[in-house]
């Protein structure tokens, strides 16, 4: 299970991070924070923990709004269930808390997001068109199609 958190500032921009040194989707822009659910942790507390660890921003669990849930089979035999949250309520100032895994943190308006995006960010952009929580299934073929030529399997 993985969690993605998208943080929106007062200008309507979202904080994105560029992955590096992870061995998976390096060079792609990811959510403000993302990570794996730990034992005895709620989805929201995972999001607040990951956001603080990766960006230094502080949010409360109740300030995370679920926008999408998606299952992705990004390659044969590897299935993930993912939750995407957003918030515009946060405190602190942005800093790179994981410089070996993140080489850039910056704010982008949705219309000018970089082209190399993780599927989590792509699903988030899709979910902006509805006020309800969206649910998606992305099989391995669709995953590769969404990622384009930039995707190489692990």
pLDDT of residue 153: 54
pLDDT of residue 144: 76
Looking at the domain 2-150, which fold is it? Nucleoside Triphosphate Pyrophosphohydrolase (3.90.79)
- R_g (Cα) of the chain, nearest Å: 14
The per-residue pLDDT for range 45-104, each reduced to its tens digit, is: 999 999 999 999 999 999 999 999 988 876 667 778 899 999 999 999 999 999 999 999
Does this model's pTM top 0.85? Answer: yes
What is the 3-class SS of the chain, one letter each residue? CEEEEEEECCCCCEEEEEECCCCCCCCCEECCEEEECCCCCCHHHHHHHHHHHHHCCECCHHHCEEEEEEEEEEECCEEEEEEEEEECCCECCCCCCCCCCEEEEEEECHHHCCCCECHHHHHHHHHCCCCCCEEEEECHHHHHHHHHHHCCCC
CA distance 45 to 51: 10
The per-residue pLDDT for range 99-136, each reduced to its tens digit, is: 999 999 999 999 999 999 998 898 899 888 887 887 77
The per-residue pLDDT for range 8-58, each reduced to its tens digit, is: 999 999 999 999 998 888 999 999 999 999 999 999 999 999 999 999 999
Domain range summary for the chain, segments of one domain joined by +: 2-150
pLDDT of residue 78: 73
């Amino acid at each position: 299970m993985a969690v993605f958190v998208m943080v929106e500032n007062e200008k309507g921009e979202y904080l994105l991070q560029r992955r590096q040194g992870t061995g998976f989707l390096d060079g792609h822009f990811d959510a403000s924070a993302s990570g794996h659910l730990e034992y005895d942790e709620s989805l929201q507390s995972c999001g607040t923990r990951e956001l603080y660890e990766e960006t230094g921003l502080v949010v409360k669990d109740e300030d995370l709004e679920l926008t999408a849930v998606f299952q992705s089979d990004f390659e044969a035999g590897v299935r993930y269930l993912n939750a995407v949250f957003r918030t515009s309520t946060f405190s602190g100032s942005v800093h790179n808390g994981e410089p070996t895994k993140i080489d850039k943190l910056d704010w982008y308006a949705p219309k000018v997001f970089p082209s190399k995006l993780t599927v989590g960010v792509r699903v988030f952009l899709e979910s902006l068109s509805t006020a309800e929580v969206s649910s998606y299934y992305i099989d391995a073929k669709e995953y590769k199609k969404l990622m384009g030529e930039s995707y190489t399997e692990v």
